[in-house]
Amino acid sequence: MISAPAANSVAGAGRRLVAGLIDMVLSTVALVAIVFLVAFVMASVGASDQTIQSDQSNWIIIGIWVVFVWLYSALLESSPAQATLGKMALQVQVADAAGRRISFARATLRFWTKVVFNTFTIGIAFLVAAFTERHQALYDIVAGTIVIPRGAMVVAAAETPLGTADPTAVEILRARAATPTEAKSPMSGKRWDRALAALARVAEPGERPVAVANALVGPSPMVVHLLLGWLGRILLMKSALLWVTDRRVILIRLSNWTGKPKGAIFADPRSSVVLFRVESRAIWLRRLDGAEYRLNYVRKPEARWISQALGAPIV
């Protein structure tokens, strides 16, 4: 008896690779069939051997094959099965971020970005799935899709909208802010003011700020830069602000371009968030549902500040 997949489980890169290889074999078989079909049709209408073997017939074959592969992928992934034959064989399916069936338009976007990215990155766009939080390839990130085991339940909370940063609320938070153990605050000046303003937009009445850090949420920056350079930095890394208060741990997404707060990725009670690893410029958090977040490029004083607030990491 096959057990049901765990909630929020996603298909690993290896499983997806095997499914892709099956689809590649099927598309190759389709190409051979199209070659014979075009040759048969052209011969039936009296075309010469020279015409059949010309570049014109080759372009017709390629055109028909590309349309076939596109429709094969987009129609099946947007169908109730949510999967190509290769994915069906491996018991995985394509879904949006909330686990729902995707539209034909989104499936088409996913297909063509897959073609473009895999062609220009020599397959690296797919290998990114081994390093991202939800095993998303680069084209999944662009199309807003995930690949999950068949029947998996996705319980992905949407970002919490932010309220208005009332200047009075900011001053109240400033007065309540806990004094860091270090002589000088790890975050000061304009950065501290912006951090307080962001917290004011999601703070609860009476909540007291304890520690804060700026970070980039995502996979290893070194891996991102080695594989995809600036494109990976834009698509795979999210600018964020991590706040620890006396009640909650709050991760606020910031605009990668302007640094302005966009939404709360999560705002959980402190007891449900574990700091399980700390390095010189990176910290790892794990939520109660098992979701993990790697926060990169955290300044060393801020990393110590967060570590002190949440306690020693559990390795």
Kindly report the CATH number assigned to the domain that includes residue 177.
Answer: 2.30.29.30
In this structure, the answer to whether residues 119 and 172 fall within a common structural domain is: no
In this structure, the answer to whether residues 174 and 70 fall within a common structural domain is: no
Is there a contact between 40 and 68 (Cβ–Cβ < 8 Å)?
no
Sort 172 into a burial class: Cβ within 10 Å, 0-12 / 13-18 / 19+. Answer: middle
> Where in 97-164 does DSSP place strands (E)?
145-149
Task: At 142, list the tokens.
Answer: 């662009």
Residue 198 lies in a domain: yes
pLDDT for position 62: 92
In this structure, the answer to whether residues 100 and 191 fall within a common structural domain is: no
In this structure, the answer to whether residues 74 and 197 fall within a common structural domain is: no
pLDDT for position 1: 40
Residue 289 lies in a domain: yes
> Can you give the pTM of this predicted structure?
0.72
- Residue after which a domain boundary falls, among 101, 119, 149: 149
Which residue range forms the structural domain that includes residue 90?
Answer: 13-149
Number of domains in the chain: 2
Task: At 259, list the tokens.
Answer: 């640094």
In this structure, the answer to whether residues 302 and 178 fall within a common structural domain is: yes
pLDDT for position 51: 64
In this structure, the answer to whether residues 133 and 213 fall within a common structural domain is: no
Residue 203 lies in a domain: yes
What's the DSSP call for residue 259?
Answer: -
Residue 158 lies in a domain: no
pLDDT for position 306: 92
Residue 202 lies in a domain: yes
pLDDT for position 116: 92
In this structure, the answer to whether residues 172 and 301 fall within a common structural domain is: yes
pLDDT for position 7: 55
In this structure, the answer to whether residues 214 and 304 fall within a common structural domain is: yes
Sort 59 into a burial class: Cβ within 10 Å, 0-12 / 13-18 / 19+. Answer: exposed
In this structure, the answer to whether residues 184 and 141 fall within a common structural domain is: no
Query: Between the CA of residue 261 and those of 58, 217, 244, what are the distances in Å?
Result: 53, 14, 16
In this structure, the answer to whether residues 17 and 143 fall within a common structural domain is: yes
Ranges of residues in the chain whose predicted pLDDT is under 70: 1-8, 47-53, 155-158, 178-185, 314-315
Residue 46 lies in a domain: yes
Residue 224 lies in a domain: yes
In this structure, the answer to whether residues 175 and 298 fall within a common structural domain is: yes
Nearest residue to 116 (alpha-carbon basis) of 70, 57, 47: 70
